[in-house]
């Protein structure tokens, strides 16, 4: 029975983290959750990513990364390192829901976990590094503007002892460790990948009951590459982590390849055809995959850099779908400005610009950006620097005039001197 006033909530501040959020959302769908799925995003999430998010999540909510409204928010601005943390706090503003479960974008559910909604705020599992603290990757909470404001107030007065949301939330909900054991979620609801190899016997004993795996730490599943031919998962040219962790990584990649990549590709294709002049309207059901059987991929190409890899064999439990030829390259789109614009049925997407060779183009873009600023500086009377930059980015470059190489060189020379 669907419960409309309760939701799983996650956060993705950029396209990378949104890939994790998509896999998480899909894993919740695969296990037939009866709750809504909501995601908080920030303005830099691309329009293609937003379209894909809309097909997996019931609600895609844009929030500001840094506040600027009143004096309290101004003091937050002096702590830029906490901005993502504060973005997470926005989950308390989702008062359309009576109760929610927040889950980091780097978590993955292994079975239905709807029973978490029987718990009260603030329920969370112990952190494997310091078990008197809870890990803030999975927690049950009640949206409330009052709590939200108290949290902001607390944050401005006390900051966060670890610089992130976990330190802040542990200080705010400081009686978690001692007051109510009902608020201690079993560790299997937030099994950190690090705990898998720090306490192997426990993992062997309890690991099969794991319900949520959390890829915490700096290396996230989307930082790896998967070679479907050699069935290897690689990071920085080498495999890392324990074999046990690999089966979770494999599962992450399996969902990514089977359910998420096809959506990304489809949306990219549509946006490509749009940028070539054929207007395409995104209909919700065109990209909808909610509660549907996973797609099977069979006609995509493996990028050559993936073909070169061959390391640890994880054949034992490698899923069949991995034999298909797939490319884990995420569509790269131009960064968007800050207005809220989510694709609605019958509403065409704002025209995104796609680059054929992502990495390289990014560099070119950066160069264009710098040079365009240079040309703006060369021409102090430029009426509008933003317009000038836009022209550059659109390829309208005044090679013979203000953007001529000799002008740019002269400017560079002044820097070098």
The DSSP code sequence of 109-153 is: ESS--GGGGGS-SSEEEEPSS-TTSEEEEEEEE---HHHHHHHHH
Give 104 or 274: the residue with its C-beta nearer to ligand UDP: 104
The residues pairing with 101 across neighbouring beta strands, listed in sequence order, are 8, 140
Give which of Mn ion, ligand UDP, none residue 245 binds (C-beta under 5 to 8 Å, depending on kind).
none
User: Measured from the CB atom, is 106 or 403 closer to ligand UDP?
Assistant: 106
Q: Which residue has the tokens 């990364």?
A: 65
Burial class from Cβ neighbours inside 10 Å (0-12, 13-18, 19+) for residue 408 reads middle
Q: Does 137 help bind Mn ion (rule: CB under 5 A)? A: yes
Instruction: State both tokens at 411.
Output: 């400017």
User: Could you tell me the smallest distance in angstroms from the CB atom of residue 111 to ligand UDP?
Assistant: 20
Q: What is the CA radius of gyration of the chain?
A: 23
Residue 105 site contact among ligand UDP, Mn ion, none (CB < 5 to 8 Å, cut-off depends on kind): ligand UDP
Q: 257 touches which of ligand UDP, Mn ion, none (CB within 5 to 8 A by kind)?
A: none
Alpha carbon distances (Å) from 348 to 35, 55, 281, 286, 387? 29, 15, 5, 13, 25
Q: Which range touches Mn ion (CB under 5 A), out of 199-207, 212-220, 264-272, 360-368?
A: 212-220
Nearest distance, CB of residue 300 and ligand UDP, angstroms: 27
Q: What distance in Å separates the CA atoms of residue 186 and residue 311, rounded to the nearest whole number?
A: 35
265 binds Mn ion (CB under 5 A): no
Q: Quick one: which H or E segment has residue 413?
A: helix 405-416
Could you tell me which residues come within 8 angstroms of residue 65 by beta carbon, excluding any fewer than 6 positions away? 13, 42, 43, 83, 84, 87
For ligand UDP, the closer of residues 13 and 268 by Cβ is 13
In which residue are the tokens 């920030």 written? 42
Would you say 123 or 136 has its CB closer to Mn ion? 136
Q: In this complex, which beta carbon is closest to ligand UDP, that of residue 13 or of residue 33? A: 13
Q: 3-state class of 344 per DSSP?
A: coil
Q: Which residue has the tokens 């022209």?
A: 391
Binding site partner of 155, from ligand UDP, Mn ion, none, Cβ cut-off 5-8 A by kind: none
Single out the residue of 7, 28, 61, 216 in contact with Mn ion (rule: CB under 5 A).
Answer: 216
The CA distance from 14 to 12, in Å, is 6
Beta carbon of residue 299, minimum distance to ligand UDP (angstroms, whole number):
32
Q: How far is the CB of 206 from ligand UDP (least distance, A)?
A: 21
# residues near Mn ion by CB under 5 A: 4
For the CB of residue 136, give the shortest distance to Mn ion in the complex, in Å.
8
Is residue 161 a contact partner of residue 167, using CB atoms and an 8 Å limit?
A: yes
Closer residue to Mn ion, CB minimum distance, 57 or 139: 139
**Closest approach of Mn ion to the CB of residue 135, in Å:** 8
Q: How far is the CB of 196 from ligand UDP (least distance, A)?
A: 15
Q: Is the dihedral of CA 10, 13, 18, 20 positive or negative?
A: negative
Residues near ligand UDP (CB under 6 A): 10-14, 17, 84, 88, 104-106, 137, 216-217
Give residues 100-119 in contact with Mn ion (rule: CB under 5 A). Answer: 104, 106
């Amino acid at each position: 029975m669907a419960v409309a006033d309760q939701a799983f909530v996650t956060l993705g501040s950029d396209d990378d983290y949104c890939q994790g959020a998509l896999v998480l959302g899909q894993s919740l769908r695969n296990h037939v959750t009866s709750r809504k799925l909501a995601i908080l995003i920030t303005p830099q999430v691309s329009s293609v990513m937003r379209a894909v998010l809309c097909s997996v999540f019931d609600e895609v909510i844009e929030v500001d990364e840094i506040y600027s409204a009143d004096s309290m928010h101004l003091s937050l601005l002096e702590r830029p390192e906490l901005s993502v943390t504060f973005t997470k706090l926005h989950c308390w503003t989702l008062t359309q829901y009576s109760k929610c479960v927040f889950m980091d974008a780097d978590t993955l559910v292994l079975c239905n976990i709807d029973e978490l909604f029987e718990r009260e705020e603030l329920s969370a599992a112990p952190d494997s590094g310091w078990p008197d603290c809870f890990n803030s990757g999975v927690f049950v909470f009640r949206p409330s503007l009052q709590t939200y404001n108290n949290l902001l107030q607390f944050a401005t007065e006390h900051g966060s002892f670890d610089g992130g949301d976990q330190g802040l939330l542990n200080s705010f909900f400081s009686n978690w460790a001692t007051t109510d054991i009902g608020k201690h979620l079993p560790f299997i609801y937030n099994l950190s990948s690090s705990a898998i190899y720090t306490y192997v016997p426990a993992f062997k004993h309890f690991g099969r009951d794991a319900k949520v795996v959390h890829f915490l730490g700096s290396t996230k599943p989307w930082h790896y590459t998967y070679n479907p031919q050699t069935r290897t998962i690689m990071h920085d040219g080498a495999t890392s982590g324990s074999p046990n962790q690999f089966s979770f990584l494999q599962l992450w990649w399996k969902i990514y390849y089977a359910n998420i990549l096809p959506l990304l590709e489809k949306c990219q294709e549509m946006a490509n055809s749009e940028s070539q002049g054929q207007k395409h309207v995104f209909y919700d059901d065109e990209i909808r995959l909610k509660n549907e059987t996973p797609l099977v991929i069979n006609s995509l190409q493996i990028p050559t850099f993936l073909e070169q890899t061959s390391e640890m064999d994880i054949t034992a439990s490698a899923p069949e779908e991995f034999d298909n030829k797939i490319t884990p390259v995420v569509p790269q789109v131009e960064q968007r400005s800050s207005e809220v614009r989510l694709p609605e049925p019958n509403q065409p997407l704002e025209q995104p610009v796609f680059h054929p060779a992502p990495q390289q183009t990014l560099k070119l873009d950066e160069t264009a950006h710098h040079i365009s600023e240079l040309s703006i500086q060369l021409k102090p009377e430029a009426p509008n620097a933003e317009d000038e930059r836009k022209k550059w980015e659109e390829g309208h470059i005044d090679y013979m005039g203000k953007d001529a190489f000799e002008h740019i060189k002269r400017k560079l020379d002044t820097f070098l001197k």
